[in-house]
Structure 1
Amino acid sequence: MPDTLPELVDSHCHLDFPDFEGERAEIVARAVAAGVRRMVTICTRLRNADAVRAIAEAHAPVFWAAGTHPMSAAEEPLATVEALEALARHPKFVGIGETGLDYHYTAESKAVQQESLRIHIEAARRTGLPLIIHARDADDDMARILTEEHRAGAYPCVMHCFSSGAALAEAALGLGFYLSMSGIAAFPKSRELRAIFAAAPLERILVETDSPYLAPPPHRGRRNEPAYTAHTARVGAEVFGVSEAEFAAATTANFDRLFGKAKAWAEAA
C-alpha cells in the first residue's frame, strides 16, 4: 500500500446487509487498499446485533454500533437504555444508533420514532458514545428534540448521511454535533447540499458511504462499498478548498475525536 495514500474512515456502512454476503473479507480488503483503514458497520435492528458484532470481531478494521432505525421503530420492540448500555460494553462497540426520525415513508409512526429517539439519546448520554442520527423530512422535530435533550444533559452526536436543510445543520452544529458527508454530496445536482457543508467548520465533518446505498460517482446506481469513501472525500476536498490529503487527515482526526473508543482500541491493538 503506498505510504502517500491518505488515511480515511468510513464512519457509517452496513456490512451485515445481504448485498455483501460471501464477500465481506474482500470488501474490507478493498477498503483498506483504497486507504479506508477503519469502518463502522451499523446495526439497524437490535435483533441482528449478534451478527453485526461478529463482523466487527472477524475484521480488525471494522467497528460497530447498534440501534433501532426510525423506519423500523414501529415494527421492532422498543429499545431500552439498559440493553444499549449492555451492547456498549463490547470493546469494538463505538456508537449508539442509528436512530432518528424519518417522516418520508413512515410519518404514521412519528410518535414511536420520537420515543425511540429519546431512549437512544439517554443511552448516548450514559455511555458517552456518539449518537448516530438518521433524519429525513423531519427537520423541525429533529432540531427540537435534539435541542431539548441536550439542555437536559449533553451528549455527542453525528448527523449521519446529512442531506437535510441549512436550519437543521445550524442547529446541530450549534449543539457541538458533527455532519457526515455521504455520496449524496457528490451527486451533480447536490449543489445546495454542498453549500451547506461548505458553510460548516471542517473540524465538524465526517465522511461515510452508507453502503450498500448511495454510491458516489462514478459508481452511482450500483452497489456502494466502503472503498468508495475515497470518491466522496475527493468531492469533500473540493467543497472545502483543501487537498485530498488535508481533507482525509481532517476527517480522520474528527472521527478520532468523536469516536474516541475506536481510536483507543486501534491504538491498543
Structure 2
Amino acid sequence: MTHTVLITGCSSGYGLETAGHFHAKGWNVIATMRSPRADLLPTGERMRVLPLDVTRADSIAAVLAQAGRIDVLVNNAGIGLFGAFEATPMATVREVFETNTFGPMAMAQAVLPQMCARRAGTIVNVTSSATLAPMPLVAVYTASKTAIEGFTASLAFELEAFNVRVKLVQPGYAPSTRFTSNGSERMQGLIPEAYAPYAHSVFASFAQIGAVTTEADVAQAVWQATTGAGAQLRFPAGEDAVALAQAPR
C-alpha cells in the first residue's frame, strides 16, 4: 500500500521541497497552501494540491474531508517575525501564535481520530533552531515555536499507547527561504529608532554565518523523522542546527 502524507505550507521553502521529496520516494502527497498553485509541484495522480488555512477550522475540516486516509501529517506552515518585542502589538503576537502554534495543534487534533483508530500514524512538527539557542529580536517567533516543542514532547508520550508517533524537526538558519519577505508587512515598525543600531549589528552577524540550512536539509530531516525507527524525538536539520543541538548547555 502506498502511504499518504499531508504537508502544510507548501507554496515555498521547506514545505515545497518536502512535498517533492516524498513524491520522489513514491508516496501519495497532499500538498496544501493558502492559495493553491499546482504548477509548483510535479503532476500526476500521486500529487494533490489543496487549499488550506491552518488558522481556520472550516478550512481544516474541508481539507480533511477531501484527503481521506492520512498516514503522516507534516505541520510545516508558519510565519516569521523579526522585531523588538517592546514594539510588537499584541495583535501581531496573536497572529503569529495562530499560525505557528494553534495551527499545528488544530491540524493534529483533526487527524488524530483516524490515526488512533488505526493505531498507526506519524505527526511531524517543524519548529526552528531558535528553540535550541536564544536569539535576539525574535522573542515572539521563538515563543510560538517553543510552545510546539513542549506540546510535541508531551503528545508523543500521550499517543504511545495508540502506536502514533510524534516528532520534531528543527531547521537552522535558512537565508534561501522567504522567511523575511513573507513577513515584511507584518514587521513594519517593529524596529524603533532606539533599537536600530542593535538591529543592524544583529543583521550583520547573520551575514557572517558560515554553515546554513537548505530546504533539502529540512526535507531529508522530515523524511528521517517519518521513516526512521527508534525513539528519537528531535531531528535538527542543517549543519548549523546540528551544531547547536550538540553544543553543551
The TM-score by the shorter chain falls in which range? 0.3 to 0.5
What is the TM-score of this pair, normalised by structure 1? 0.34
Tell me the TM-score normalized by structure 2: 0.36
